[in-house]
C-alpha cells in the first residue's frame, strides 16, 4: 500500500511491501527485514549507519515492461534488476521510479543497494537535529506497463466567473522502440475531459493539457474536504493501454495583504511541525501511527501541519486531504550555512528534491504552501541567490500555492521580499529569556522595515520548549514538563492573541532522534530533540492540555 485509494483499474500494480532479504554490507550478516522499514529497528543495527543490500525475488506472470516505484529509500538507492543496474536515487524523502523493458514471464531478482552514510557527496543528509535512518523506508510497487504509460496527471483547479474549472495536464511516456499514436481521456464525477489524439515518439515524453468546466462539484475546504477521483485513460488501437487515478479537490489559495485566504476566506493556521520519527519505526511510519498522529493533533485542535523538514509520505498527505488539514510541505534542507550551500552537489540535490516534491504531490488540495531552505544562509548575497534559484524553480512548476522559508536570522535576513509569506522561527523563554511579546514586537518592526510597505502574512513557523517525558518538577527546572507547559502557555497566549500573525506552528509534535554527534547530543538529552508535545512513543506531556486549551479557544 502506498496510497489511500486505488490508483489503477487498467494498469496492473503489485505491492512489493513485505519481508525482503537483507545483507549488512559491513558485517555480511543476513536478515529478513520488513519493507517499508528502517534497519535500525533490528536489535543488531540500532546504531548502524552505512550500506546494505535488499533482495527480493519477483514473479512476473507475463512478458511485459515493468515500472518499479520506490516511495522512499534512505538515503541513496541503487537498483539492480537481474544483476544489471537500472536506477540510482539520492534523498530519502522523495519517490522515484525505474523502468525495465522486455521482461519475460518468470522469476527475476531485484536488489536495492542502500547507503545511509554521510559523505561530501551527500549535502542534504548530514549531521542534523533529526536522524537519517537507513533502509527502504516507504512502500514499493511493481507495475506492468506496456511500452507507453501515463507518467503523471496534474490537476489545477481554478475558479472563473463563479464556476469551477480544472486544467488537466497529462504526461505520457513512451519507453518502447516504436512511435505511439492513441487517444487520451479523463473523467471526473461524470464530466469528461477530452484531449483528442496524442502521438509520442519512441523514447519520448509528451505533456498534453486541457481545460474543462466542472459543474455541480463541491469545493474542498477545511470543514468540508470534498475530494473527487480523476480517472485518466490512454487508448491505443486495441483499447485501453494504461490509466492513472488521482484524487483532487477544488479550492483556491491566495495571499491578500497580510492575510492567507482559502477559497477567498481568511484562515488562521494553528498546527504542528512534525518529524516522521518514532522510537520503534524510525522514519518509516506505518499507516496506523500516521492515523494516531493525526488524531492526536486534531484532538489538540490543530488544523495544520508543517512537514519539517522534508517531503512526507504520500499516505500522510492523502490523510490530510481527507481530514481537511492544511499542509505546508517543504524541501529537504535544514540549517545550512553558506559554506555548506556552496558545496558542488547543493544545487542539484536541492533542485531534484523540489522537482520531485512538486511533481509527485501536485494534486493534494491540502498542500497550500511550498517551503524551502529552513533556517539556511538567507543573510548573505550568495545565500540569497540559492533562495532566488529555488523560488524561481517553484514558480516554473506551480504558481497555484503560496511560498515561504522559515527564518531564524532575525534582523539580518535579506530574503524576506522573495516569498509570499514571512515565517519566523523563534524560541523566547527557551534559548533566550525574553517575553514572547517583547521578542515578537521587535521582530515584527524589523519585518515591516524590510518589506518597505509591502504587506505579507506573517507566520510563527516554530516556537516551543524542551521537556523530557516523565520529568516532573514543580520548581519548573529546565527540561521538566512543567517548564515546557508554562513556556508554551505564554507563547501561545501571545501569538494566538496577536492579529498581526496569520498562524502559529508549534515546534514540535513529537520528540525525535537526532544524529549521535557531540554538536547535537550535548544540548539534546537522550540524543533527542525533546520539544515534542508528545514523546517518541506518543505519550502526552503536560503541555498537551496547554496546547489544547489555546487551540480550542482560537
Ligand atoms: C530550529 C530548527 C528545528 C529545530 C529547532 C530547535 O528552529 O528549524 O529543526 O532544530 O530549531 O529545536 O532548536
146-196 pLDDT, tens digit per residue, is 999 999 999 999 999 999 999 999 999 999 999 999 999 999 999 999 998
Q: Is 192 helix (H, G, I), strand (E, B) or coil?
A: strand
Q: For residues 152 and 163, what is the distance between their CA atoms, to the nearest angstrom?
A: 26
The pLDDT, as a whole number, for residue 43 is 98
How confident is the model over 283-293, as a mean pLDDT? Answer: 98
The pLDDT, as a whole number, for residue 266 is 98
Q: How far is the CA of 131 from the centre of ligand 1 (A)?
A: 13
Phi, psi of 305 (to 5 degrees): -135, 135
pLDDT one-digit tens code per residue, 499-540: 999 999 999 999 999 999 999 999 999 999 999 999 999 999
- b/e map 150-181, b = 16+ CB within 10 Å: bbbbbbbbeeeeeebebebebbbbbbbeeebe
HEC readout, 228-258: EEEEEEEEECCEEEEEEEEEECCCCEEEECC
Q: Is the CB of 358 under 6 A from ligand 1?
A: no
pLDDT one-digit tens code per residue, 420-443: 999 999 999 999 999 999 999 999
Work out the number of other CB atoms within 10 angstroms of the CB of residue 374. 26
- Cell numbers at residue 261, please? 485566504
Q: For residues 338 and 315, what is the distance between their CA atoms, to the nearest angstrom?
A: 34
Q: Which of 142, 122, 120 is nearest to 132 (CA)?
A: 122
Q: How far is the CA of 335 from the centre of ligand 1 (A)?
A: 8
Q: Is the CB of 374 under 6 A from ligand 1?
A: yes
Protein residue with its CA nearest to atom 4 in ligand 1: 129
| Chain centre distance of CA 364 | 11
Share of the chain above pLDDT 90, in %: 99
CB of 41 closer than 8 Å to CB of 280:
yes
Q: How far is the CA of 187 from the centre of ligand 1 (A)?
A: 44
Q: Is the CB of 511 under 6 A from ligand 1?
A: no
Burial of 269 (0-12, 13-18, 19+ CB in 10 A): buried
Q: For residues 162 and 173, what is the distance between their CA atoms, to the nearest angstrom?
A: 35
Which among 332, 375, 506, 517 is the best mutation to test ligand 1's pocket, defined by most ligand atoms within 8 Å of the CB? Answer: 375
Strands (E), 161-218: 163-174, 180-188, 191-200, 205-213
- Cell numbers at residue 21, please? 532479504
HEC readout, 487-509: HHHHHHHHHHCCCCCCEEEECCC
- b/e map 514-538, b = 16+ CB within 10 Å: bbeeeebeeebeeebbbbbbbbbeb
Sheet hosting strand 253-256, strand order edge to edge: 253-256, 259-262, 265-266
Sheet hosting strand 163-174, strand order edge to edge: 148-160, 163-174, 205-213
How confident is the model over 470-476, as a mean pLDDT? Answer: 97
How confident is the model over 361-377, as a mean pLDDT? Answer: 98
| Residues 6 or more apart in contact with residue 232 via CB below 8 angstroms | 150, 153, 168, 170, 184, 185, 186, 243, 244, 245, 246
pLDDT one-digit tens code per residue, 23-57: 999 999 999 999 999 999 999 999 999 999 999 99
- Partner residues linked to 207 by β-bridges: 171
Q: Average pLDDT over the chain, rounded to whole?
A: 98
Farthest CA pair distance, the chain: 77
This prediction has a pTM of 0.98
Q: Which of 305, 301, 298 is nearest to 549 (CA)?
A: 301
Q: Which atom of ligand 1 is nearest to the CA of 431?
A: 13
Q: Is the CB of 129 under 6 A from ligand 1?
A: yes
- Cell numbers at residue 291, please? 492515523
CB of 12 closer than 8 Å to CB of 43:
no
DSSP secondary structure, 112-131, as one string: EEEE----SS-SSSSS-SS-
Which among 124, 127, 129 is the best mutation to test ligand 1's pocket, defined by most ligand atoms within 8 Å of the CB? Answer: 129
Amino acid at each position: 500500500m502506498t496510497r489511500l485509494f486505488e490508483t489503477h483499474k487498467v494498469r496492473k500494480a503489485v505491492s512489493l511491501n513485505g519481508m525482503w532479504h537483507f545483507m549488512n554490507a559491513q558485517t555480511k550478516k543476513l536478515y529478513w527485514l520488513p519493507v517499508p522499514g528502517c534497519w535500525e529497528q533490528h536489535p543488531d543495527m540500532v546504531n548502524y549507519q552505512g550500506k546494505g543490500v535488499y533482495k527480493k525475488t519477483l514473479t512476473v506472470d507475463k512478458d511485459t515492461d515493468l515500472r518499479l516505484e520506490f516511495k522512499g529509500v534512505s538515503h541513496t538507492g541503487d537498483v539492480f534488476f537481474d544483476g544489471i543496474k537500472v536506477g540510482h536515487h539520492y534523498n530519502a524523502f522523495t519517490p522515484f521510479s525505474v523502468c525495465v523493458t522486455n521482461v519475460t514471464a518468470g522469476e527475476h531478482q531485484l536488489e536495492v543497494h542502500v547507503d545511509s552514510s554521510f559523505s561530501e557527496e551527500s549535502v542534504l543528509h548530514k549531521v542534523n537535529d533529526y536522524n537519517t535512518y537507513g533502509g527502504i523506508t516507504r512502500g514499493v510497487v511493481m507495475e506492468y506497463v506496456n511500452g507507453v504509460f501515463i507518467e503523471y496527471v496534474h490537476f489545477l483547479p481554478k475558479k472563473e466567473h463563479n464556476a469551477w474549472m480544472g486544467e488537466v495536464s497529462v504526461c505520457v511516456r513512451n519507453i518502447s522502440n516504436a512511435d505511439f499514436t492513441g487517444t487520451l481521456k479523463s473523467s471526473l464525477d461524470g464530466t469528461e475531459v477530452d484531449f483528442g489524439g496524442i502521438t509520442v515518439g519512441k523514447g519520448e515524453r509528451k505533456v498534453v493539457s486541457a481545460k474543462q468546466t466542472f459543474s455541480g462539484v463541491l469545493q474542498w475546504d477545511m470543514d468540508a474536504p470534498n475530494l473527487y477521483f480523476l480517472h485518466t485513460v490512454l487508448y491505443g488501437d486495441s483499447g485501453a493501454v494504461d490509466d492513472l487515478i488521482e484524487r483532487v479537490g477544488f479550492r483556491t489559495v491566495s495571499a491578500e495583504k497580510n492575510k492567507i485566504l482559502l477559497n477567498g476566506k481568511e484562515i488562521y493556521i494553528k498546527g504542528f511541525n512534525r518529524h516522521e520519527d518514532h522510537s520503534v519505526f524510525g522514519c518509516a511510519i506505518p499507516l496506523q501511527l500516521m492515523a494516531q498522529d493525526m488524531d492526536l493533533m486534531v484532538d489538540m485542535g490543530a488544523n495544520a501541519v508543517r512537514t519539517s523538514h522534508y517531503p512526507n509520505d504520500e499516505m500522510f498527505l492523502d490523510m490530510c486531504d481527507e481530514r481537511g488539514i492544511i499542509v505546508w510541505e517543504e524541501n529537504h534542507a535544514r540549517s545550512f550555512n553558506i559554506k555548506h550551500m556552496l558545496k558542488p552537489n547543493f544545487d542539484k540535490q536541492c533542485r531534484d528534491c523540489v522537482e520531485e516534491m512538486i511533481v509527485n504531490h501536485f494534486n493534494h488540495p491540502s498542500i497550500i504552501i511550498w517551503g524551502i531552505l529552513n533556517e539556511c544562509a538567507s543573510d548573505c548575497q550568495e545565500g540569497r541567490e540559492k533562495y532566488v534559484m529555488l523560488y524561481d524553480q517553484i514558480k516554473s512548476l506551480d504558481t497555484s500555492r503560496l511560498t515561504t522559508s522559515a527564518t531564524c536570522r532575525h534582523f539580518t535576513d535579506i530574503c524576506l521580499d522573495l516569498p509570499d509569506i514571512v515565517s519566523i522561527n523563534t524560541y523566547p523563554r527557551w534559548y533566550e529569556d525574553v517575553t514572547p511579546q517583547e521578542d515578537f514586537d521587535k521582530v515584527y518592526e524589523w519585518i515591516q522595515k524590510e518589506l518597505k510597505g509591502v504587506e505579507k502574512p506573517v507566520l510563527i513557523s516554530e516556537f516551543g520548549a524542551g521537556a523530557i517525558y516523565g520529568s516532573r518538577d514543580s520548581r519548573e527546572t529546565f527540561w521538566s514538563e512543567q517548564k515546557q507547559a508554562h513556556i508554551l502557555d505564554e507563547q501561545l497566549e501571545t501569538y494566538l492573541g496577536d492579529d498581526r500573525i496569520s498562524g502559529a506552528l508549534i515546534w514540535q509534535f513529537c520528540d525525535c532522534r537526532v544524529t549521535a554527534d557531540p554538536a547535537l547530543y550535548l544540548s539534546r538529552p537522550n540524543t533527542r530533540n525533546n520539544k515534542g508535545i508528545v514523546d517518541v512513543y506518543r505519550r502526552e506531556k503536560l503541555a498537551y492540555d496547554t496546547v489544547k486549551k489555546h487551540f480550542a479557544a482560537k
